[in-house]
Amino acid sequence: MDESTALVSARGLTKVYEGPPEHVAVGGIDFDVLRGEAFGFLGPNGAGKSTTMRMIGCVSPRSGGDLTILGHDAARERRAIKARLGSVPQDDTLDTELTVEENILIYGRYFGLPRAVIRERTDRLLEFARLTEKRTARVQDLSGGMRRRLTIARSLVNEPDLLLLDEPTTGLDPQARHLLWERLFRLKQDGVTLILTTHYMDEAEQLCDRIAVMDGGRIVAHGSPRELIERYVTREVLELRFPLDQHEQAAEKAHGIGERIEILPDRLLCYTGDGESALEETRRRGLDPITALVRRAGLEDVFLTLTGRTLVE
């Protein structure tokens, strides 16, 4: 990969929290983020996504390895890097006592931007975040989705080259999530490079050009969503549900159907190139599932295959 086009480049990046107890949160990871792409870290809680994001955001010093951001070393030129980053942390850091526009003003001042410039950008940012009517509302009166959009709008006040989004839609209802996705998609089309974390596979599939699947502080696989699915799982999945008392028996009987079977606590997943034929085979073996569903394989299946666990427990 060409270093000059990588906005972020990590080699052996490591983070150890001193504790006690000492804890290796990120255990030596390599990745490159290219200009203009949307790069995602997908993984369950505790995988080390936020820690990685905070190291990229220069708010957490690395314990080892190399980390270059926008051509600067992350340890030595924090100010220069942070001046060109946008940051949406996992927990909102808005001042709930101040109004929407005051939050943007204060934040813009931290970048040393003149008030007039901030005011002019605020109009556009609020329009982008669909918060124009809320301009003088206090943040404590905003919904969760609105706060998240405000945090994103605020993070754009310095017109960053790179936007970091740590779980941008966690905790939001489906409608608010879709609105956010649509806004993020527009940013991407405008050429903003995005790095985001998520434990929702649909989010990763919708937004990311490339994904690093994280587990236990390591990257266990990376590639585009399509590449990952092609490499690690079959094209289709047959999902079978049985009455709970027949679950284990059914699993035994289904053995050998398709290429591989995953036994989850509540259902069987049968990986196969052809879901319909697998279903027929199931019936031939005298199995009678309560529900049977054939679907395309997704990133959730990739994660399950790689780690033996589901993403969201």
Positions in the binding site for ligand ADP (CB under 6 A): 17, 23, 25, 43, 45-51
SS3 (DSSP) at 231: helix
Query: CB of residue 49 vs Mg ion: minimum separation in angstroms?
Result: 5
Q: 41-60: which residues touch Mg ion (CB under 5 A)?
A: 49-50
**Residues near 108 by beta carbon (within 8 Å), at least 6 away in sequence:** 117, 118, 121, 122, 157, 158
Give the pair of three-digit tokens for residue 273.
């190139």
Binds 280, which of another protein, Mg ion, ligand ADP, none (CB < 5 to 8 A, cut-off by type)? Answer: none
CA 44 to chain centre: 10
| Residues in contact with another protein, shown as a per-residue x/- string from 33 to 62 under the rule CB under 8 A | ------------------------x-xxx-
Angle at 271 between CA 267 and CA 274, to 5 degrees: 120
Closest CA to 290 of 235, 240, 223, 220: 240
Binds 43, which of Mg ion, another protein, ligand ADP, none (CB < 5 to 8 A, cut-off by type)? Answer: ligand ADP
Nearest-CB residue for Mg ion? 50
Nearer to ligand ADP, 46 or 61 (CB): 46
Give the pair of three-digit tokens for residue 154.
């605020």
Binds 242, which of another protein, Mg ion, ligand ADP, none (CB < 5 to 8 A, cut-off by type)? Answer: none
Nearer to ligand ADP, 39 or 271 (CB): 39
Position 87 contacts Mg ion (CB under 5 A): no
HSE-up (13 A, CA, CB side) for residue 288: 1
